[in-house]
Homo-oligomer: A and B are copies of this chain.
Amino acid sequence: MNDVAATAGVALKTVSRVVNDEPGVNAATAERVRQAIELLGYRRNDGARVLRRGRTASIGLIIEDVADPFYSGLSRAVEDVALRNGSLVFTGSSGEDPQRERALVLAFCARRVDGLVIVPAGYDHGYLAPELAAGTRAVFADRPPGPAVEVDTVLCDNDGGARTGVAHLIAHGHRRIAFLGDQAAIFTAQERLRGYRQALEAAGLPYDPALVSMGVPEQSRVTAAVAGALALDHPPTALFTGNGQLTMAALRALETLSTGPAVLPCRVTPGAEASRPAIVGFDDFALADLLNPAITVVAQDPTRLGRTAAELLFRRLTGETGPVERIRLPTHLIPRGSGELPPPA
């Protein structure tokens, strides 16, 4: 900037004015400055600017894994809102590891991000308190913070969604419905399990722990869980899966376990359909409509979740006060076939 000023024969401040489009600069002077900028290939150093002004015009986003379609949809929404607000976004994947979540949040705070959108992996957010006290704003998305801090939160209607999905299966005649959930420590997994139980209760059906399996959404575990359930004396006639990854893994498990010979181009052996359990999954996913049968899901809207959280964050950053907000986003059932299969006669 000094060099530019020297080359243009003006003072430092004038260059600053031109660079920032501040009013009160003679058009001719401004032009000279712009030429000097061009000549020297000058670029404003935003880091220094930030240091002086206090606002970094950047936010941090912590999710579980960008590579998961649910979170990448959320990411894109956050990014778009940030862009509209003139802000850049640091993204970090926690991989469901509270240590990494913490490290990322702290690293972002050290960069003095203006705010954070956090999908937490852990429950202890005491580490956030000093940052919040220092003025960094945070919005939790998809899962709430632990009791140590009180911040705006945008969640999905997990138990309501699960209730709807399970009630749908019940309405189609199922009485033995297995529940396949994510790790029991995860908030959304707990809420969805709760919804499952509520639906059973509302229909006067017993809760059978043998029909419930919670754990990591790995194929091997899911295959084992599905196989185990189907091998019960009174096997389930339907399956409710707690998220998109689990649904896909369960479908693959059913395919693997299917006893009939794999016949191309139609893998489902004619006549074998009837023995196939009905399935409803939490989360919509690409191609759910092209499977055979097409998959009935309880859809959330990751884009809306991200947008809502980011917009709330920017409203806070632009000074909106008021009590901590707790927003619940609705889900909706999309019947496609797999959830309408009747139980075997």
Chain A interface residues (CB < 8 Å from chain B): 41, 43-48, 50-51, 56, 58, 65-69, 72-73, 75-76, 79-80, 83, 88-93, 106-112, 130-131, 133-134, 248, 251-252, 255, 264-268, 270, 273, 276, 285-287, 289-294, 337, 341
Contacts and interface: CB of A to CB of B under 8 A. Distances in A.
Nearest to A269: B266
A41 B133 contact: yes
Contact of A252 (B91, B251, B289, B292): B289
A96 to B, nearest CB: 13
Contacts of A293: 264-265, 267
A248 B288 CA distance: 11
Could you say how many copies of this chain the assembly holds?
Answer: 2
A78 to B, nearest CB: 9
A265 B337 contact: yes
Quick one: which of A88, A265, A273, A289 has the most chain B CB within 10 A?
A: A265
Contacts of A130: 41, 43
A153 B341 CA distance: 51
Q: Which 10 A-B pairs have the closest CB atoms?
A: A72-B72, A265-B293, A67-B76, A46-B110, A41-B130, A265-B273, A91-B91, A292-B292, A66-B75, A66-B76
B67 A248 contact: no
Contacts of A251: 287, 290
Given A265-B292, A265-B337, 16 more contacts: A45-B112, A46-B110, A47-B50, A47-B51, A65-B76, A66-B72, A66-B76, A66-B79, A69-B286, A76-B93, A88-B107, A248-B286, A266-B266, A266-B268, A267-B293, A290-B291
Given A43-B130, A47-B111, A76-B65, A341 B265 contact: yes
Contacts of A265: 268, 273, 276, 292-293, 337, 341
Contacts of A276: 265
B287 A248 contact: yes
A251 to B, nearest CB: 6
10 contacts: A43-B106, A43-B130, A65-B76, A66-B66, A66-B76, A66-B91, A69-B72, A79-B92, A266-B266, A287-B287
A108 B293 CA distance: 47
Nearest to A289: B252
A245 to B, nearest CB: 9
